[in-house]
Amino acid sequence: MPWYIRLLRGIEIGLYAIFFAGLLGGSSLLVSSKPSEAARRYTRAVEFDYVSWTLEAFSVKLDQAALGTPFYFTETARHQIVVDYLHLMDNILSSENRLNFLYSDPKVTKPAVASLALRAQLNALYDHQQQLAPLAEAVLQEQISATLADLGLTTGGQPLPPVLFHFSPLPYNLVISPRAKIQQDATISLLPDLSVDQQISLEFKVDSGLNVSSLVVPVGGIGSYPTMVMRNTALDWLSDTIAHEWTHNWLTLRPLGLNYDTSPELRTMNETTASISGHEISVLVLKRYYPELAAEYGVQTVSLPPSPAVTGFNFNAEMHVTRVRVDELLAQGKITDAEAYMEQRRLFFWQNGYAIRKLNQAYFAFYGAYAETPGGAAGEDPVGPAVRALRAQSGTLAAFLKTISQMDSFQQLQAAVSP
């Protein structure tokens, strides 16, 4: 890649970074100013700093653009870089788990001494990660960009904005919903190392102080720029998340994304669209570049994820039942009954192998927006089915995205899928 092309690409990356950083609006993602500002009395000390993170990630991406990575590597070498990164992450995550276990084991009286060798090993792995992660990021960016070009989702042969992501520990999100209605009124990004005790304490303060339902939730990716992607060893999940977050960036340049926080319906339209897009792009990336892993993950087609099996315990179906009943109780004004019912159902899920720490209005407000498959936390919300119907009647993923991206109301989607 000629030097002047790399320079122009660096300038382009910088302009997009400034644009998306402006949309983030400071240290936290705020969906609604009034509920967020009230909650920030409790969160200011533990909020995530997007500005510092973006500057650091932006520096990494400028270096990649200047070097023209990964164009110096053969296709085989690119494949191996990503596979080596996955193996490295597996070693890091397993070593971190062993370290945490050492510090949690009451039989280990001097964990700092007992973990000396393990911590030295981890430091060596971290050093290797610093060298390998930027290369793996660059390879996956290029592979997803090429897939987007094949799908007709580029301008002049290039995705706009360019596909840029950075592996990173992700902030938690504090989600706030009214108690009387399932609705995401606010979400605030928190430090990624917030302990469970700190999360529970914060939720209690927000709930009791504001008479709301709150929940601290983990996220797998965030549509900053570059986008943030959690460390993981599953390439199907990673490629899905990278494509999902790029779709959010792409939508943000269009009416649907610009109106993300205008209404709960538009938020669900955005999230469900990004989920559908992420899944389909991921399947194509795996089949083209990592066929051996595609076979291992059971990737066969580019269709939407199948509905849950009808045999055994069906999490999606049971969560759907739960959401529908909660909506009924809240519509009748029976808030305490709804909350007691959710706790009963939480214990039911626990008994069937699903460890949900808290099941409340905020849980459904957050997870109900991801409606790419039938059932689940969305309940009877009609938005997800309408988005899926539009995808089904669209000939290609590009046609689907170009149609829905121009919408700024749920009524437009309903009109598009009406018989």
Regarding whether 289 and 142 lie in a shared domain, the answer is no
Q: Give pairs for 305-310: CB < 8 Å, separation 24+.
A: 305/279, 305/372, 305/373, 307/373, 307/374, 307/375, 308/373, 308/375
**Residue 300 falls inside a structural domain:** yes
Q: Which residues pair with 174 in a beta bridge?
A: 188, 216
Regarding whether 148 and 243 lie in a shared domain, the answer is no
Which pLDDT score is estimated for 244?
Answer: 95
Which pLDDT score is estimated for 81?
Answer: 94
Element (H, E) at 164: none
**Residue 299 falls inside a structural domain:** yes
Regarding whether 122 and 252 lie in a shared domain, the answer is no
User: Using alpha carbons only, what angle is made at residue 111 by residues 110 and 117, rounded to the nearest 5 degrees?
Assistant: 115
Q: Is residue 114 packed enough to be buried (19+ CB in 10 Å), middle (13-18) or exposed (0-12)? A: middle
Give me 221's structure tokens.
């990716």
Regarding whether 408 and 271 lie in a shared domain, the answer is yes
- Give the Cα separation of 231 and 244 in Å (integer): 15
**Residue 292 falls inside a structural domain:** yes
- Number of domains the chain is built from: 2
Regarding whether 388 and 242 lie in a shared domain, the answer is yes
Which pLDDT score is estimated for 67?
Answer: 61
Which pLDDT score is estimated for 28?
Answer: 39
pLDDT, block means (10 residues), the chain with 419 residues = 45 58 45 69 92 82 66 86 94 89 80 89 93 91 95 90 90 95 93 90 95 93 87 92 95 93 92 95 95 73 42 86 96 97 94 91 93 82 94 96 97 92
Which pLDDT score is estimated for 107?
Answer: 84
Regarding whether 389 and 240 lie in a shared domain, the answer is yes
| Count of alpha carbons within 13 angstroms of residue 104, beta-carbon side | 6
Regarding whether 238 and 151 lie in a shared domain, the answer is no
The range of the structural domain enclosing residue 379 comes to: 234-417
**Residue 206 falls inside a structural domain:** no
Which pLDDT score is estimated for 22?
Answer: 54
Regarding whether 270 and 122 lie in a shared domain, the answer is no
Amino acid present at 31: V
Query: Which of these three, 88, 122, 155, is where a domain ends?
Result: 155
Regarding whether 385 and 254 lie in a shared domain, the answer is yes
Q: Is residue 335 packed enough to be buried (19+ CB in 10 Å), middle (13-18) or exposed (0-12)? A: middle
